[in-house]
Amino acid sequence: MTVERVLLAEPRGFCAGVEMAIKALTWMTRIFEPPVYCYHEIVHNEWVVRAFERVGVVFVNDVSEVPVGAPVMLSAHGSAPQVIDQASERAAVVIDAVCPLVTKVHHEVKQLSSKGYDIIYVGHEGHDEAVGTVAEAPHAITLVEPETGIDGFAPRDPSKVALVAQTTLGMHEWQHVFDTAQERFPELKTARKSDLCYATTNRQGAVAELASECDLVLVVGSDNSSNTQALVRVARERGARAERIDSADDIDPAWLEGTRVVGLTAGASAPDHLVQSVIDRLAPTMGFELRSTTEEAEYFPLPRQLRAFVTTLQGLVEAGVTARVVGESPLLDRDREWTATEALRLISA
Ligand code: SF4
């Protein structure tokens, strides 16, 4: 039961959208007295959600659960237009922490439907991102699971069909649906690249590179994290045994029987300290080796409404007006250097 080596995939873990969303919700907890409300889990990670709950964030699945006049944040996965309207009617302050790459897909859907296209949306039924995107044009959009494909899709006009996708699908799953759709609808309209985001693509590329060398691949991330599940499937497609774990506590000792080399990665919403604790638990006799496939430099600024709100508040504090202490919170002008890991450390202190 001795693991010799761990091959650590890079990039792994937090993407720019998750970084932004975690920092944005941290700001909310510094500005407002608890409870602060958040529509849907801010990101799909159990550890992160519990950390925010401990400092008074209440996660709701229906905006009607937010008391009138309370502050509310909308999650990184993007919300339906009706949810945004409803939140604006009820809440004192609404900050939308949607990832800009999800917003891009919402725009595509709105544009395509206004031009009369029937849209195939490749995604997972019930996933927060899929629910929000489909709601942009429910009359024009058909959700297709990647495993099921487009057999049941019947457009009004086969020359006006578009293909759009959830940002966190498996690359091969997406490619398969794309190929089938293009064959059936030669005039298929789709984004120049796929809608799969850079973080999804890079993390899958990194795990694909090392999977064939591993006896077992462990993917740190939560069950409801679509990109985490995609990493597991990519590793399996490459012939590796692969398991998803929330933390080191989920490692089944039976998985390690006869296992010498373990590949390790993490979904885009999984904090890196959970990855480090997996390495500690495995205690590889020959240590770990970083396997880097690409460098990422993406940065998404905090939501505009939040920046405006904090700037106003800081001005008031500087002018001597009593406001909730922003205290040790980082200043907005060094947001680029401030990480979500530091933000989580701040709220967990
Ligand atoms: S996984 Fe991609 S789409 Fe989702 S939050 Fe991260 S960068 Fe944005």
Q: Give the tens place of pLDDT for each residue, 210-245.
A: 999 999 999 999 999 999 999 999 999 999 999 999
Q: How far is the CA of 143 from the centre of ligand 1 (A)?
A: 20
Per-residue pLDDT at 194: 82
Answer whether residue 88 shows pLDDT above 60: yes
State how far the alpha carbon of 243 is from the alpha carbons of 96, 251, 256, in Å. Answer: 33, 9, 11
Reported as a pLDDT band with limits 50, 70 and 90, residue 193 is confident
Does the CB atom of residue 16 touch ligand 1 within 6 A? yes
Does the CB atom of residue 43 touch ligand 1 within 6 A? no
Per-residue pLDDT at 146: 93
**What is d(CA 122, CA 124) in angstroms, rounded to the nearest whole number?**
7
CATH number of 16-99+300-348: 3.40.50.11270
Answer whether residue 312 shows pLDDT above 90: no
Same fold, 5-14+198-292 and 101-190: yes
The contacts of residue 152 (CB under 8 Å, 6+ apart) are none
CA of 43, closest atom in ligand 1: 5
Does the CB atom of residue 17 touch ligand 1 within 6 A? yes
**Region of poorest pLDDT, from 52-56, 58-62, 171-175, 325-329:** 325-329
Question: What architecture is the 101-190 domain classified under in CATH?
Answer: 3-Layer(aba) Sandwich (3.40)
Does the CB atom of residue 230 touch ligand 1 within 6 A? no
User: What spatial distance separates the first Cα and last Cα of the chain, rounded to whole Å?
Assistant: 36
Give the residue, out of 25, 101, 195, with the most ligand 1 atoms within 8 A of its beta carbon, to mutate for a pocket test: 101
Answer whether residue 283 shows pLDDT above 60: yes
Reported as a pLDDT band with limits 50, 70 and 90, residue 328 is low
Does the CB atom of residue 102 touch ligand 1 within 6 A? yes
Per-residue pLDDT at 349: 84
Give the residue, out of 200, 203, 224, 300, with the most ligand 1 atoms within 8 A of its beta carbon, to mutate for a pocket test: 200
Answer whether residue 45 shows pLDDT above 60: yes
Does the CB atom of residue 98 touch ligand 1 within 6 A? no
Q: How far is the CA of 193 from the centre of ligand 1 (A)?
A: 15
Q: What is the pLDDT of residues 12-43, one digit of tens each?
A: 999 999 999 999 999 999 989 999 999 999 99
CA of 18, closest atom in ligand 1: 5
**What is d(CA 339, CA 12) in angstroms, rounded to the nearest whole number?**
15
Per-residue pLDDT at 117: 98
Catalytic center residues: 129
Question: Domain 5-14+198-292 adopts which CATH fold?
Answer: Cobalt-precorrin-4 Transmethylase; domain 1 (3.40.1010)
In this structure, the residue with its CA closest to atom 7 of ligand 1 is: 17
In this structure, the residue with its CA closest to atom 2 of ligand 1 is: 197
Per-residue pLDDT at 327: 55
In this structure, the residue with its CA closest to atom 5 of ligand 1 is: 17
Does the CB atom of residue 161 touch ligand 1 within 6 A? no
> What is the residue extent of each domain of the chain?
5-14+198-292, 16-99+300-348, 101-190
Does the CB atom of residue 101 touch ligand 1 within 6 A? yes
Q: How far is the CA of 253 from the centre of ligand 1 (A)?
A: 32
Q: What is the pLDDT of residues 131-186, one digit of tens each?
A: 999 999 999 999 999 999 999 899 999 999 999 999 999 888 899 999 999 999 99
